[in-house]
Amino acid sequence: MSTSIIRAVCPHDCPDTCALHVTVTDGVATEVRGDPDHPTTAGVLCTKVSRYTERTYHKDRLLYPQKRVGKKGEGKFERISWDEALDAISARLKIVAVKNPLAILPYSYAGTMGLVQGDSMSHRFFHQLGASFLDRTICATAGGTGYKYTVGARIGTDIEQTQNAQLIIIWGGNPIASSLHFWMRAQEAKRKGAKLIAIDPYRSLTAEKCHQHIALLPGTDAVLALGMMHVLIQDDLLDHDYIAQYTLGFDQLKQRAQEWPPERAAQVCGISTEEIIDLARTYGESAKRGEASMIRMNYGVQRVHGGGMAVRNIACLPALVGAWRHAAGGTQLSLSDSFPKNMAALQRPDLFPLGQQQRTINMSTIGDDLMQESSDKFGPRIEALIVYNSNPVAIAPESSVVAQGFAREDLFTVVLEHFQTDTADYADILLPATTQLEHIDAHSAYGHLYMMANNAAIAPQGEAKPNTEIFRLLAQRMGFDDPCFSESDDQIAAQAFKKDDTRAIHFDWNSLKKAGWAKLRVAEAPFAHGGFLTPSGKCEFYSQSMLDDGLDPLPTYIPPYESRLSNPELAKKYPLAMISPPARNFLNSSFVNVQSLRDTEGEPHLDIHPVDAAQRQIASGDRVKIHNDRGSFVALARVTDKARQGLVVGLSIWWKKFASDYKNANEVTSQRLTDMGGGPTFYDVLVQVEKVQTP
């Protein structure tokens, strides 16, 4: 018997990007554990990934290529050989490409965050083909854009400082579920006396464990931040020296904040005036005392119409009180721009045919876009769709339109997957992909500062192949002869980070593979002495770039499309706001098919406040229908004041095929986009809820 420990990386879309130790005995992975020496992983994994072998060796893993034999969406397939599959795909892509390659669309997101399996060979392939580009907006572009206007780049407080903070504001995030290793450090800070405050419409697992919970209405965070600015200025809880040296536009900001006395802000946010005054004073006074006050923002704040502006407003706060002076102060939304990734080498945009027209499709409106006919404005109708690392039929908004698009008989759809997801059901050709234990990859992270290496622990299951290999083989069949199409995964991984960049100068792929991880060389407190990456080099309270892009250059409020205050007519019909944030035991729609994890989540639930439930004669355990003009889905009611009055919460993202009505929360979400960044508005939804009468 031979047993070894392989160094690997969690590939999932989670800020923590854990370092893994995979125990392999006689070629079989028997256990996946957190690397005890990796500082942020600290030997701990979440429940999902500690069950990784259950997912890898799942009886439903796709093990060989298949072609559709039933109707689209029916999920009936027949086994074929790799040659047959690849020949069929390349033949069809050639036919479409001769007419217009822009009619081909790749659709992918963060099923794996790996730079090799996610961002390299596939991009090279579609660039060479001259296909449409995909704007990958589904998660974070609204907030990312708002943050960049203000601070300049997605750079912020290092998670490894968290335990040194005296005040931690967790704003629009539920780290117990979605960033466990940040939460572990926040707990350490709490034990050392730090105060924890959660800002969230829902009493999430995290909000429940904080000292204070401010349950504002969804989509009103921008106003809470404006109300805080008002109080900070009025009470002079400011760091005048920091403002003078390192910020731009304070006088204009001051005027703007005047418009938002806490009384007015409180009305919009649906909270008390005292809560706003108290929050601002707690924040400002903590900074005045010279303490480290940290705001951990998360993406929950930016899935609404004004989501970009909300992040921008919040991102102004640390500069007002000088919180960036401390390594454990400031704010973190994402650290992705800390990494000197070499995207040009990985993706080779230069392969795109010279002089050919380009087109970009926003992944958040895939439903509408699949339904578009050819036109001058839109360009050619989408005729071929290649999906990998994503499950759009479950996760994209306004699902009924998405499903209608995928059901088009004239659309040629290829899906690369581990499992027969809701999306795979619509494939013409379904290809088996390897999991993280079966391929190699290089990783950056968005919640810590380590470059990471994933070694293959086991052989591919069945006939599964890495995404890279699938696109390599397709490139051969398409006749693409650039040498980059013959690079091995190791050769690609070795190009992941820019070696001449001071942050990664110590990067060497072979040694990274042995060590598993290496920290970037970056400053401990990124903006302690200014150095913002905006055009002015300052934290921009006033942003000329925003004005140039047609936005208000100052912090402001952009109300939700759908809320009682902003759309009272609609609210008459659909009076309840609905959000559908991540369930603890799923990762987006990944893991929903892992029995032990699904058992823990039970059936799809809807949390509803006792007053709202009573008005509708709903009791816990009742089957309820959640609906609006876009559609409906069914869930089991949980009557609880965790959901504030006027709000319902359906933890997500369920596979439709595991729901009694074959539907999920995205039936009622809309394809309208955020104020900036072209993001989706998953949490900007009004619905009505009623009990389903059982015969």
Ligand X SMILES: Nc1nc2c(c(=O)[nH]1)N[C@H]1C(S)=C(S)[C@@H](COP(=O)(O)OP(=O)(O)OC[C@H]3O[C@@H](n4cnc5c(=O)[nH]c(N)nc54)[C@H](O)[C@@H]3O)O[C@H]1N2
- Is residue 588 close enough to count as binding ligand X by CB under 6 A? yes
Per rule CB under 6 A, count of chain residues that contact ligand SF4: 12
| Nearer to ligand SF4 among residue 10 and residue 484 (C-beta) | 10
Which residues, 211 to 270, sit near ligand X by CB under 6 A?
A: 218-219, 221
**Residues 584, 597: contact at Cβ < 8 Å?**
no
Residues in the chain: 695
- Is residue 678 close enough to count as binding ligand X by CB under 6 A? no
- Which stretches of 41-138 are DSSP H helices? 47-50, 52-56, 82-99, 121-129
Q: Which of 113, 363, 653, 686 binds ligand X (CB under 6 A)?
A: 653
- β pairing state of 104-108 and 384-388: parallel
Q: Which of 167, 587, 594, 613 binds ligand X (CB under 6 A)?
A: 587
Residue 288: HSE in the Cβ half-sphere, 13 Å Cα cutoff: 11
Per rule CB under 6 A, count of chain residues that contact ligand X: 57
- Is residue 139 close enough to count as binding ligand SF4 by CB under 6 A? no
- Tell the residue number behind the tokens 């904040």, with chain if given: 257
Tokens for 450, please give them: 């380590």
- For residue 160, the 8-state DSSP code is G
| Nearer to ligand X among residue 83 and residue 208 (C-beta) | 208
- Is residue 308 close enough to count as binding ligand X by CB under 6 A? no
Options 9-17, 376-384, 403-411, 663-671: segment touching ligand SF4 (CB under 6 A): 9-17
- Is residue 12 close enough to count as binding ligand SF4 by CB under 6 A? yes
16 binds, among ligand SF4, ligand X, Mo ion, none (CB under 5 to 8 A by kind): ligand SF4
Write down the least CB distance from residue 597 to ligand SF4, Å.
Answer: 12
- Is residue 589 close enough to count as binding ligand SF4 by CB under 6 A? no
Write down the least CB distance from residue 603 to ligand SF4, Å.
Answer: 23
Strand partners, 79: 66
Q: What are phi and psi of 614, to 5 degrees?
A: -60, -40
Which residues, 137 to 196, sit near ligand X by CB under 6 A?
A: 138-139, 171-174, 177-178
Distance in angstroms (rounded) separating the CA atoms of residues 361 and 132: 7
- Is residue 10 close enough to count as binding ligand SF4 by CB under 6 A? yes
Q: Which of 134, 167, 180, 280 binds ligand SF4 (CB under 6 A)?
A: 180
Of the candidates 116, 60, 616, 51, which has an alpha carbon nearest to the alpha carbon of residue 346?
116
| Nearer to ligand X among residue 101 and residue 392 (C-beta) | 392
- Is residue 286 close enough to count as binding ligand X by CB under 6 A? no
Q: What are phi and psi of 565, to 5 degrees?
A: -75, -40
Residue 203: HSE in the Cβ half-sphere, 13 Å Cα cutoff: 15
Q: What are phi and psi of 518, to 5 degrees?
A: -150, 135
- Is residue 580 close enough to count as binding ligand X by CB under 6 A? yes
- Is residue 167 close enough to count as binding ligand SF4 by CB under 6 A? no
Of the candidates 98, 61, 100, 67, which has an alpha carbon nearest to the alpha carbon of residue 81?
67
Q: At what angle do helices 273-288 and 307-321 cross, to 10 degrees?
A: 40
**Residues 560, 305: contact at Cβ < 8 Å?**
yes
Q: Which of 6, 29, 46, 493 binds ligand SF4 (CB under 6 A)?
A: 46
| Nearer to Mo ion among residue 18 and residue 96 (C-beta) | 18
Q: What are phi and psi of 623, to 5 degrees?
A: -80, 125
| Nearer to ligand SF4 among residue 12 and residue 21 (C-beta) | 12
Write down the least CB distance from residue 64 to ligand SF4, Å.
Answer: 28
Q: Where in 439-586 does DSSP place strands (E)? A: 441-443, 450-454, 517-519, 539-540, 576-579
Strand partners, 212: 197
Write down the least CB distance from residue 280 to ligand SF4, Å.
Answer: 33
Write down the least CB distance from residue 519 to ligand X, Å.
Answer: 22
590 binds, among ligand X, Mo ion, ligand SF4, none (CB under 5 to 8 A by kind): ligand X
**Residues 691, 624: contact at Cβ < 8 Å?**
yes
| Nearer to ligand SF4 among residue 44 and residue 525 (C-beta) | 44
| Nearer to ligand SF4 among residue 100 and residue 436 (C-beta) | 436
- Is residue 18 close enough to count as binding ligand SF4 by CB under 6 A? yes
- Is residue 584 close enough to count as binding ligand X by CB under 6 A? yes
Distance in angstroms (rounded) separating the CA atoms of residues 655 and 633: 12
Options 40-48, 305-313, 370-378, 432-440: segment touching ligand SF4 (CB under 6 A): 40-48
- Is residue 45 close enough to count as binding ligand SF4 by CB under 6 A? yes
Write down the least CB distance from residue 57 to ligand SF4, Å.
Answer: 18
| Nearer to ligand SF4 among residue 111 and residue 397 (C-beta) | 111
301 binds, among ligand SF4, ligand X, Mo ion, none (CB under 5 to 8 A by kind): ligand X
Of the candidates 167, 171, 163, 174, which has an alpha carbon nearest to the alpha carbon of residue 147?
171
- Tell the residue number behind the tokens 């900001």, with chain if given: 253
The number of angstroms, rounded, from the C-alpha of 472 to the middle of its chain's C-alpha atoms is: 28
Q: Which of 41, 122, 563, 652 binds ligand X (CB under 6 A)?
A: 652
* List of residues 6+ apart from 245 with CB closer than 8 A: 530
DSSP collapsed to 3 states, 188-205? HHHHCCCEEEEECCECCH
Write down the least CB distance from residue 311 to Mo ion, Å.
Answer: 14
Write down the least CB distance from residue 290 to ligand X, Å.
Answer: 28
Options 10-18, 401-409, 429-437, 568-576: segment touching ligand SF4 (CB under 6 A): 10-18
CA distances from 469 to 33, 406, 444 (A): 28, 26, 21
Binding site for Mo ion (CB under 5 A): 139
